[in-house]
Amino acid sequence: MKKIKILFLTTSLTVGGAEKMLFETARNLNKDIYEPVVCCVKNRGYYGDLLLEEGIAVSYLGMGDGTGIFVLLQVPRVIMKLILLIKKTKPAILHSYLFRANFLGRIAGRVAGVPVIISSIRRGYNEKRYHFFLYRLTNRLADIVIANSNNGRNYAIKHSGLKENKGVVIYNGIAKNSMHPAKTVSEIKKELGLGETGAVIGMISRLHRVKGHSFLLKAAVWVLKKHPGTRFIIAGDGGIMNELKSDARKLGIEKEVIFTGERNDTANLMQIFDVFVLPSFSEGISNSIMEAMLMGKPVISTRVGGTAELVKDNETGILIEPGDENALSEKIIWMIENKEKAKQLGAAGKKTIEENFTMEAMISGTEKVYKELLSRKGI
């Protein structure tokens, strides 16, 4: 039987939640039925190399970063390159992730005659008014839009003019065996220069203002007054690294906060955390929260986006309002002082992930959408 070719199109392949979900989807599809190929609108990235290791072809359109007229001038060239790639690969499905890929893929896909066009949306920091405008212009070109939360689907319907019958929800998934550390706790602590400490509070995310790192630093000041042995690990890279380090110095906590930079060994790092924190202003379904919950770590996060669909307040973790440093410090202190209850939250969170946010469920849901759309087109 001839395999069904799927062209996955993404804005980038650097370390990020959407990029990871594209990678996991492409490599976990039933290869007896589907043949995935990947195209990145920008340039090479971490997941591009991993896809090649999986034997999945990857190509790049070379669109530069930035915004405004610089990007606008590149659009015709990039669309033409994408049309040529589509003509060459002849996919039955074009499945895109992130704004640029969604917008460019809808246009190029329809011009090139791709039978099925699917967009994936994630609520996040890159939402701008012109995004909503361009989505409204091109929504009709997509057969289905997949959101990773009900909140995200409803948000797209309200702000981007998405028709209700075009929006479906498929939660991010995580493999049950994916969070096994390759190093010991003592090895990781030695690597980070951690000696004997009190509680370790960790955060893993891209360094961007929307993630709320500054509020964790402010909360840390109050936590350290009550529990001076506490240490804070901030893992990830991004444009505000120097700003955050400067903030830590100004707050007088630079010795208690460790910035690890980008890490690709999440399980190794996560195992030393006593509490995982993500005080974001905007989220879809956070992969980092899912990873922490799968490892049984108690989670404190903000009630934004799809997070409340993942974390049930005082049942599988704790939710606070975004920007509330006082609540964040209080809840961290509560976790430190109520270890047994925190452990129970972590255990409940682990069970939630194992039952409701599995890789199997994500792949099954995605393949079901593919089959239904291909059937509609007579393929």
Asked whether residue 149 is domain-assigned, the answer is yes
pLDDT at 130: 82
Burial tier of 68 (Cβ tally within 10 Å: 0-12, 13-18, 19+): exposed
Do 205 and 146 lie in one domain? The reply is no
Asked whether residue 337 is domain-assigned, the answer is yes
Do 103 and 119 lie in one domain? The reply is yes
pLDDT at 67: 67
Do 158 and 193 lie in one domain? The reply is no
CATH of the domain at 197: 3.40.50.2000
List pLDDT tens digits, range 175-205.
Answer: 988 899 999 999 999 999 898 779 999 999 9
Low-confidence ranges of the chain (pLDDT < 50): 125
Asked whether residue 73 is domain-assigned, the answer is yes
Domain span at residue 257? 185-356
pLDDT at 64: 81
pLDDT at 196: 77
**Residue pair 124/283 in contact by the 8 Å Cβ criterion:** yes
Do 313 and 223 lie in one domain? The reply is yes
List pLDDT tens digits, range 9-26.
Answer: 999 999 888 999 999 999
Do 142 and 228 lie in one domain? The reply is no
**Residue pair 15/264 in contact by the 8 Å Cβ criterion:** yes
Do 352 and 364 lie in one domain? The reply is no
Asked whether residue 123 is domain-assigned, the answer is yes
In angstroms, the CA 306 to CA 152 distance is 7
Do 157 and 16 lie in one domain? The reply is yes
Asked whether residue 129 is domain-assigned, the answer is yes
Do 133 and 194 lie in one domain? The reply is no
pLDDT at 355: 95
Asked whether residue 180 is domain-assigned, the answer is no
Do 120 and 144 lie in one domain? The reply is yes
pLDDT at 71: 74
Do 136 and 220 lie in one domain? The reply is no
Asked whether residue 94 is domain-assigned, the answer is yes
Full-model pTM:
0.92
**Interior CA angle at 52 toward 46 and 54, to 5°?**
110
pLDDT at 16: 87
Token representation of residue 208: 């961007």
- As for how many domains the chain has, the answer is 2
pLDDT at 73: 84
Residue type at position 260: T
pLDDT at 122: 84
Do 161 and 270 lie in one domain? The reply is no
In 62-211, at which residue ranges do the beta strands (DSSP E only) sit? 93-97, 116-121, 144-147, 167-169, 200-204
Asked whether residue 32 is domain-assigned, the answer is yes
**Residue pair 272/197 in contact by the 8 Å Cβ criterion:** no
pLDDT at 56: 97
pLDDT at 24: 97
Do 91 and 67 lie in one domain? The reply is yes
> Which positions ≥6 away from 104 have C-beta within 8 Å?
9, 41, 75, 78, 79, 82, 96
**CB neighbours of residue 46 within 10 Å:** 17
